[in-house]
Amino acid sequence: MKNLDKNEYFFGHKACAGCGGALAVRIALKTLGERAVAVLPAGCMSAVGFNFPQLAFANNAIISTFAGTASMLTGIVSGLRARGETGFTAVGFAGDGGTADIGIQALSGAIDRNDDILYICYDNEAYMNTGVQKSSLTPFGARTTTTPAGDRIRGNIREKKRMFEIVAAHGISYAATASVGYLRDYVEKIRKAAAVRGAKYIHVLAPCPTGWGTGADETVELAAEAVDCGLFPLREFSDGKFRVTIRRTPNAGAIRAHLARQGRFRHLTEEDIEHVISLTAARSNHL
Ligand SMILES: Cc1ncc(C[n+]2csc(CCOP(=O)(O)OP(=O)(O)O)c2C)c(N)n1
Ligand code: SF4
Ligand SMILES: [Mg+2]
């Protein structure tokens, strides 16, 4: 991609081939540059990035408590400012579990204080590092080890939590959804966020071949397809207003095809698929 730093800041890590989370972290750090200070809670990105003595980050990076990503970002900003440092970005990379379940209180507090932090949630839609358990961002129907597919209950019976709307409801300075299938849009949103003083949140869809039951070479295509079929709208919230950055009308055939290529949805019945399609249409009416 043009105008992106040629240097690498996240490399030599131990992520599975085709990991969407690793791509999300790599591109974000190339966008923010060497003055980014990264905070990562428990999750795949810290597990694959900090294997002493092989630190996979070229910039400063630290592991936080699971629940405390946002609090540690706040502390880093205060500490560096007290030392007279300027021109850095404190950026968090937390998974869906570490964000929408375990870290939501600290995140909410940091947004409420409008601390000058950038929080990036890489959403692979389950607790992947511990073997694929359901989080509140796991979509309806997905099979995980805690939402197995059987005759009576077929995968996750809950809907994906509306994390972007929850963050926006705080009146945050800047928030966006993004996808590793639309990297230019993702980079633009990171640049925009980095230029805003105050709390910023980016929610990036990052497929996990291991947990989704997909091929390592399908990640980027799947992430783009999720946007294109209407399942994962790309949006922004700034100055108190919502905006759609890449508009796609939900398409039943495309949703069907998107679900069919993922192992985690293979058990779904016609009725389940119809339900996913109607949920997607209902959500798109809120845009
Ligand atoms: C306080 C605490 N509880 C549980 C764990 C175990 N744990 C480590 S990584 C992980 C999964 C994290 O899931 P998510 O935040 O979605 O990130 P992903 O692994 O999917 O990248 C869990 C449950 C832990 N390390 N610390
Ligand atoms: S399990 Fe999934 S999220 Fe974790 S490193 Fe592998 S591909 Fe990435
Ligand atoms: Mg996850």
Model pLDDT, residue 287: 66
C-alpha distance from residue 123 to each of 46, 160, 204, 269, 277 (Å): 14, 11, 6, 25, 21
- The H-or-E segment that residue 242 falls in is strand 241-246
Distance 141 CA to ligand 2 centre (A): 20
Ligand nearest to the CA of 15: 2
CB of 128 within 6 A of ligand 2: the answer is yes
Give the Cβ contact number of residue 67 at 10 Å.
18
DSSP letter for 100, please: I
Residues of the chain with pLDDT under 70: 286-287
241-276 b/e (C-beta count within 10 Å ≥ 16 → b): eeeebeebebbbebbbebbebbebbebbeeebbeeb
Name all residues whose Cβ lies below 6 A of ligand 1: 21, 42-45, 66, 95-98, 124, 127-130, 135
Which ligand 1 atom sits closest to the C-alpha of 98? 15
Distance 33 CA to ligand 2 centre (A): 24
What is the CATH code of the structural domain delimited by 20-284?
Answer: 3.40.50.970
Ligand nearest to the CA of 219: 2
Instruction: Delimit the domains of the chain by residue range.
Output: 20-284
Q: Name the pTM for this structure.
A: 0.98
